Amino acid sequence: MTKNIAIILGEFHKREAAEMLAEARKVAAENNLNIVEEIWVNGSYEKPLALKRVLMKENINGAVMLGIIERGETKHGLIMAHTVMQAIINLELEFMKPVGIGILGPEILPSQIPSRLLPTAQKAVLAVARMLVV
C-alpha cells in the first residue's frame, strides 16, 4: 500500500539539497512512498514549523527532512542543530508519524559534504519507509 510523505528542504545549500531531493525521490518511488509535498524553507531553523504544518494533514503519513548544517566559526550551528533536532523529534512523537532526518551536520566540513549527500538522503527515506510498516 502506497503511503504519502512530504519532504522539507533547506535552501541555504540549495544545490546540495537538490541532489539530495533527486535521490530521495528515487528511493521513495522504489519503496512505495508517494511524495505529495516538497517544501523549501530558508534553512534548518524553519524546518520544524514546516514539519508541523505537514504532519497536521491527514493525508500525510510521514516526512523527510533534508539539508546541511555546516561548521561555522562559532557554535551557532551546533546549538541550532540541537534545538532543531529536538523540535523534530517532539513533533514526530506528538503526531505519531515517522520523520526521517537527512540533515548533514552539525559541524560538517565542506570537504565532507559531497560523499554524504546521497547516502544521507537514502537513509532518511528508508527510515520513514520502515517505520510506516512497523
* Span 106-123, average pLDDT: 96
Which amino acid, one-letter code, is at 89?
A: I
Exposed, middle or buried by CB within 10 Å (0-12, 13-18, 19+), for 62? buried
Question: What is the domain-level CATH number for residue 96?
Answer: 3.40.50.960
* Cβ-contact 134, 111 below 8 angstroms: no
3-10 vs 62-70, strand pairing mode: parallel
Q: Is the entire prediction scored with pTM above 0.85?
A: yes
* Cβ-contact 57, 95 below 8 angstroms: no
Residue 92: give the domain boundaries. Answer: 3-131
Provide the number of structural domains found in the chain.
Answer: 1
Residues 45-103 pLDDT 10s: 999 999 999 999 999 999 999 999 988 788 888 899 999 999 999 999 999 999 999 99
